[in-house]
Amino acid sequence: MNAHGALWIAALAGNLVLAPKSWGQAAVPPAADHTATYRADSLRLSGRPWHAAETLLAAARRDPNPNAFLIVEGAKAEVHARRYEHARQLLVGQPWLLDYLGGEALAVLAQAEFGTDQYASAATHFQMARARAPAAHVPLLAVRAGIAFEAAGQADSAAAAFAAARSGGTLASIDTWLRVRQARVTRDTAVTAQLLADLPPPAAREAPRARARSLLLAGDTTRALDAYAMAGKGGGLDAARLALATGDSTRARTLLYALLARDPLSDDAAAGVSLALRPLPPRTAEQHVALARALNRRTTTRDARVHVEHALRSGDSSATTLLLYGELLVASGRLREAVRAYAAAARDSASRPLAIYRRARVLVRLGDSTAVAALSGFALRYPADSATPGALYILGDMQDSRDDWRQAGRWYGELISRYPGDARASLARFRLAARAESTGRPDSAAALYQSEIDAAGPQRTAARFWLGKMAEARGDTTQARTIWVGLAREDSLGYYGMRARRETGLPPLAFPPVSDVTTPPPAVLAGLARIDTLLLAGLDTEAQAEVRVALARPPADLEGLLAWSEGLGVRGFGSAGVRLGWQAALLAPGDVRVLRAIFPWPNRTAVEAEAQEFGVDALLLAALVRQESVFDVEALSPAGARGLAQLLPSTASLLARGLDVTFYPDWITVPDLNLHLGAAHLAELLRRFGRVDAAVAAYNAGPIPVRRWLERAGAGDPDRFIELIPYPETRGYVRSLLRNRELYRALYGP
């Protein structure tokens, strides 16, 4: 079960496979004191499965002889917290296991076994639970048994379980998906053809792979191999594995390296790397390069570099390979070698501009005396290249960092005059304006801010705000107020509009109360119910496919968009819900419900509880989660940060040790555990820096650069500190997060 499923299943008490109630008459008397279990149930329903598990664990420690009720409730809490081995150990071997509440304990044990990859045992216990369960739960348990049988390699039993789940029509809303599941474990290809006939999307996309698996079960390896090869996404890897299993290593190698070359950063390519490293090592230069691209950003750069070097020794001197080699050398800190690689790549006319630019940037990092000539030469030679504004900005930044403002002004000025609308020109204006203010030249600073406005630059609202600050500084409060009131009105939802509102003493941003909740349109209710059923059945991948359909074919009306947005958000698909909220904004940009869809708070109870525990402003923590993950419980960043608060596994582990919390990497996306660690991290940064702007900057960029930024002149002014953050991502992050906090205050109250 993934975190989407675990979070939402916890809230489906009426239909839940592992529900604490509704399983018929208890064969074991419940505990006399339900305090701990009621508390845990409340925590679980509010999206706090980890705290629920901890609550019951503490109760069990207090009771030397916990009864069956407490043990089963504790095991369920452990499953929801993804602590599967803990749950399994609580239940295995219990004398009352077979008789407890119509198979409920058996179902929990099966979930725990599935989570620890004990698929055969899980299938057996799901079947036993199914035989004892109330009628309403039998089909869902049959699906889970089928999934476990398939994972255990017991295809015939899986097919029978899926067929049983389909019988009676209880799961009609997901029958197309069950047909695919049944087809791919069916040996009779004629039956498979019937199951896969006339499938609607999105289930139809899985039909080719299901057909290939059926052919393989039927013993028709040749046709199965062809079917996999034609199946599109995922099929190439399956085909390579099958070809290898049948002894055709030549075809397996061809299929594998075609996949790595075609989509090196895909999940299939990541899974295929293990084949390339062991049974199917690269033999040609092209294959070495393909493997290097798949390894890049996944393992150490050394692993990728070794394969590129092998290709180069084999005679591959293409510019694309040399550019990749230069990139890997830079990542390895071998800068002089990177300079030579880029120089060699520059011999190719098509790659020359990029190679020259990259070489010049490496020279800057080396502090080489030829760096200025290399960058300026590039900017002169390739004025139309998209990298040229960046080259001019780097030239200015180099001199800026040396406090050579005459040369810095030269390069910044050239950037502004040649590329006035470029984002780097905007940064240059603000650098020069800050310098002008600090050296007593307010008129020059004002002219630069005005030029940003005239150029419709990306920081034009910031420029207006600073013109207001300059007017106030020279005593012209009337002009300052005029500027700020206009900015607050025209940029009411932006960071600088809110800052202007505060400076002028205008009342805080406020919105009318949300009108009575309307019933979602029937089509949306049906779509969300289908996702719920898939999650309850353990078909998480299929549920995600349904979410993608909702995004690809959203309703055209406002009510439908808002209903989908809210429904997906509370199910843990936060980023999908916000995307639909932005589409709703095209229809009704001023509607408060639309703003709530774009800035949702689906985990409010959990966020507020964690904020209170660590003494953090709940609105600030909500704003941080919105900025980090958009409330997507499974969010994964390119750097490897995970979960609602976007923590790196190493950071999460360190925080857990400091809090004396047991932690395993697999638990990082458990919603409230992730929030617990994220809130602790934010609280520590607030204590360390003593100010919100610096703390949130450190959450994004790390504390070391923030300490350096705080030492600069003017950093005591929060506005100036934020403006001069040199990392564009961090500067935007801080602005957005502080803006988000004010929006959450206005939308959701204090």
Residues labelled as active-site residues: 628
Copy the structure tokens of residue 588: 């009704």
Copy the structure tokens of residue 165: 């789940």
Copy the structure tokens of residue 684: 């520590």
C-beta separation of 91 from 112 below 8 A: yes
Count CA atoms closer than 13 A to 433's CA, side-chain side.
26
- Contact residues for 81 (Cβ-Cβ < 8 A; gap 6+): 6, 49, 50, 52, 53, 667, 670, 673
- Contact residues for 407 (Cβ-Cβ < 8 A; gap 6+): 399
Question: From CA 664, how far away is CA 673, in angstroms rounded?
Answer: 11
CB atoms within 10 A of CB 234: 18
Question: From CA 159, how far away is CA 210, in angstroms rounded?
Answer: 12
SS3 170: coil
Question: From CA 79, how far away is CA 489, in angstroms rounded?
Answer: 50
Question: From CA 153, how far away is CA 32, in angstroms rounded?
Answer: 43
CA distances from residue 625 to 185, 399, 616, 639 in whole angstroms, order as listed: 41, 38, 13, 17
CB atoms within 10 A of CB 399: 18
Question: From CA 679, how far away is CA 677, in angstroms rounded?
Answer: 5
Q: At how many degrees (to 10) do helices 692-701 and 671-689 cross?
A: 120
Q: Which residue, among 208, 286, 269, 276, has the nearest Cα to 244 in the 3D structure? A: 276
Copy the structure tokens of residue 564: 């989908």
Question: From CA 444, how far away is CA 430, in angstroms rounded?
Answer: 11
Question: From CA 713, how far away is CA 727, in angstroms rounded?
Answer: 17
Q: Which residue, among 289, 350, 297, has the nearest Cα to 324 in the 3D structure? A: 289
Q: Is the dihedral of CA 445, 447, 448, 452 positive or negative?
A: positive
Task: Give me the DSSP letters along 459-485.
Answer: THHHHHHHHHHHHHHTT-HHHHHHHHH
Copy the structure tokens of residue 550: 């909702």
**Residues linked to residue 573 through DSSP beta bridges, in sequence order:** 632
Question: From CA 434, how far away is CA 459, in angstroms rounded?
Answer: 14
State the Cα angle at 285 between 279 and 286, rounded to 5°. Answer: 85
Question: From CA 90, how far away is CA 72, in angstroms rounded?
Answer: 8
End-to-end CA distance of the chain: 35
**Residues linked to residue 632 through DSSP beta bridges, in sequence order:** 573
Question: From CA 222, how far away is CA 77, in angstroms rounded?
Answer: 47
Question: From CA 362, how far away is CA 394, in angstroms rounded?
Answer: 12
Go through 236-269 and write b for each residue having 16 or more CB atoms within 10 A of its CB, e for each that does not.
bbbbbbbbbeeebeebbbbbbbbbbbebbebebb
C-beta separation of 734 from 740 below 8 A: no
Give the 3-state secondary structure of 235-260: HHHHHHHHHHHCCCHHHHHHHHHHHH
State the Cα angle at 105 between 104 and 110, rounded to 5°. Answer: 100
Copy the structure tokens of residue 698: 């450190």
